[in-house]
Structure 1
Amino acid sequence: MASYCSIWIACMCLFNVLVVRMASAQLSPTFYSLTCPDALTTIKSAVDSAVSNETRMGASLLRLHFHDCFVNGCDASVLLDDTANFTGEKTAAPNNNSLRGFEVIDTIKSQVETLCPGVVSCADILALAARDSVVALGGPNWTVSLGRRDSTTANFSAANSDLPGPSFNLSALIASFANQGFSANELVALSGSHTVGLARCVVFRDRIYNETNIDSQYAESLRTMCPIVGGDDNLSPLDVTSPTYFDNAYYTNLESEMGLLHSDQQLFNGGSTDDQVIIYGSNSTTFFTDFASAMVKMGDLSPLTGTNGEIRTNCRKINEDSIFYLLAASK
């Protein structure tokens, strides 16, 4: 019986890997070369402008892609607004009053629609904007395969359950990333995205007042802008050393017990990921290489391709013909 179960589990794992590979094999870096040759330069220009206007926007656009892909795959479901008959993912606990950058995606989509109406998906825009944001902040480049299509639905409950949270301990983080097919080393690499961006007082208050694995002077400085009561929306850099540059300082901060979030410091807290943190902290080239590889893998999470999904005209809502189809199917 045990042997049969082992074989069954191995077969199911192989099946899941093959499904992901078959889907990602339909993606191509040159997908828009003929249908919208100026799409990539247009998107990069818009991202560069947005990051130049507000450095924080680079981290916000990167986070949008992450929060999209971890819920039902990279299908732009995170961009859908709520309607009278539809609840999207924006108001799920990990996203509500937290995700930002939607207006930048709207601007990019409008520009691309002017160039090539109905050709470039919102999901591909998210993937490209994430890469271009990292590059704009001084981080690594990578090749983004394209051809994703947009979902006609979202998953509010999965957004609440599948996204790792700032209070997660190491085992929960490892399990959350493993559910998406990532190793513990890839978890550490992707967490390096916290070398840029800001976090709200409400998500790190408990750490700075109640945890002991935090540098005392760092905790004291954070308490001045994050009181025990009030100030929930006050912001602090995730990387106190170089908050506007994409580098490996996040990891050296962890080694000094200056991780802002509980989940950050869990990566260097006497556990199985300590060694990987040290490697990335001492070698930015290794971090950049591993981060880029993990981002490629994340972009390949369950994309809609072929005739699945649609190319939304407006990233915030599904196309009118899809609405009529879905209403008819529900009757």
Structure 2
Amino acid sequence: MASSTSGHCLFLAALLLLSSAAYGQQLSTSFYATSCPSFESTVRSVVSSAIGSDPRMGASLLRLFFHDCFVQGCDASILLDDVGTFVGEKTALPNANSVRGYDVINNIKAAVEASCPGIVSCADIVALAARDGTVLLGGPTWNVSLGRRDSTTASKDEANRDLPSPAANLSALITAFGNKGLSAQDMTALSGAHTVGFTQCRVYRGRIYNDTNINQPFAKLRQSNCPATPGVNDTVLAPLDLQTELAFDNAYYGDLLKSKGLLHSDQELYNGGSQDTLVKKYSSNSAAFFADFVTAMIKMGNINPLTGTSGQIRANCAVVNN
């Protein structure tokens, strides 16, 4: 009987140990509360300064987080430079001409390292900067779960394959997001991030010249600065949201109702398909959009994070530690 009791106690102890270890692997909103209590205020300060100098940066930091999480999970792999034989993701087609904000992340990392050396991951910096960029442009806030670690690998091939194309149809978009554990509703809410930011002529040229489900005066407006000839004015910028280009609100959905989505993939959300009702709801109910956006951002931030002893805490976000 004593032997049985002893075995039972050992079994319970093992379960508790495993439970404790599993809990330690999870993300937590208080992860740095003791080890780096100034982390969140430092991020907010640097992001605020960056947006003050360049109002587009809030949207860029949000996009950076999205492009990170969709490739290998939220692990800061997008920040890694091509060094020697190492190939990063920065030159992948979806990233090369549209992702920016690396310098802001580096500035945050330097500031955090000055007060909490070797503690905070680049992946967590990217996640928190995306939240703060959203808030500083007038969008919703949320508690960001932290504790991610940084990848020692990157995948240019995965970036080229998994990041949704601006020319994608609705079915392809739903599949791309579904492959990352995100629903069609999550996808439609996350697309609302296009209520801020700009994109280049090379990205929206096909939409304004080839699509039939586009408001013609709007198409003409964009064609005035974006010629049909590839290679001409490729880098000319246009706002993704015609109405309030630098304010995080629900105006983007109103654009879609008027067939004024700048990207083909944007207008696919309101084109006689399964997301039409949701687009209408978001266009008239800002609170509903904000709530669903927050839910989707939290879900996206939980895509395959490295935790515990996986990965590393990079000293320099652009290169793997020696």
- Compute the TM-score of the two structures, normalised by the length of structure 2: 0.92
Structure 1 unaligned residues grouped into runs of 5+: 1-21, 321-331
Aligned residue in 1 for 2:272: 270
Distance in 1 between the 2:293 and 2:163 partners? 19
Q: What is aligned with 2:260?
A: 258
Write the distance in 2 (CA, Å) between the matches of 1:214 and 1:109. 43
Distance 2:127 2:293 in 1: 14
Q: Are 1:294 and 2:318 matched, yes or no? A: no
Secondary structure of 1:199's aligned partner: strand
Deviation for aligned residue 1:84:
1.2
Counterpart position of 2:143: 143
1:36 Cα shift? 0.6
Instruction: Report the CA distance between 1:97 and its aligned residue.
Output: 2.2
Equivalent positions of 1:320-331 (< 5 A) are 320=322
Q: Which residue of 1 aligns with 2:38?
A: 38
1:25, distance to aligned residue in structure 2 (A)? 6.4
- Go from structure 1 to structure 2 and tell me whether the alpha carbon gap of 1:181 and 1:36 turns closer, same or farther (over 3 Å shift): same
**Which whole-Å CA distance do the structure 2 matches of 1:264 and 1:25 have between them?**
37
How far is the alpha carbon of 1:124 from its aligned partner? Answer: 0.1
TM-superposed CA distance for 1:256, in Å, is 0.3
The match for 1:234 is 236
Q: Distance in 1 between matches of 2:141 and 2:155?
A: 30
* Aligned partner of residue 193 in structure 1, secondary structure: helix
Change (3 A) 1:291 1:23: farther
Checking the alignment, whether the CA contact within 8 Å between 1:23 and 1:303 is kept in structure 2 is no
CA contact (8 A) 2:25 2:307 kept: no
In the alignment, what sits opposite 1:247? 249
Preserved CA contact (<8 Å) 2:28 2:146: yes
Q: Which runs of 5+ in 2 are unaligned?
A: 1-21
Structure of higher CA gyration radius: 2
Quote the Cα distance in structure 2 between the aligned partners of 1:98 and 1:215. 25
Q: C-alpha distance in 2, partners of 1:176/1:25?
A: 27
Aligned-residue RMSD, C-alpha: 1.1
SS where residue 118 of structure 1 aligns? coil
- 1:23 Cα deviation from its structure 2 partner: 8.5
Q: Distance in 2 between matches of 1:127 and 1:184?
A: 22
1:204-263 alpha-carbon deviations (Å, 9 max, x no partner): 111111111111111010011101120000000000100000000000100000000000
Aligned twin of 1:54 = 54
Paired position in structure 1 for 2:169: 169
Where 1:194 maps in the other structure, the secondary structure is helix
Q: Percent identity?
A: 58
**TM-score under structure 1 normalisation?**
0.89
The letter of the residue matching 2:301 is: G
Question: Is 1:23–1:304's contact at 8 Å kept on the other side of the alignment?
Answer: no
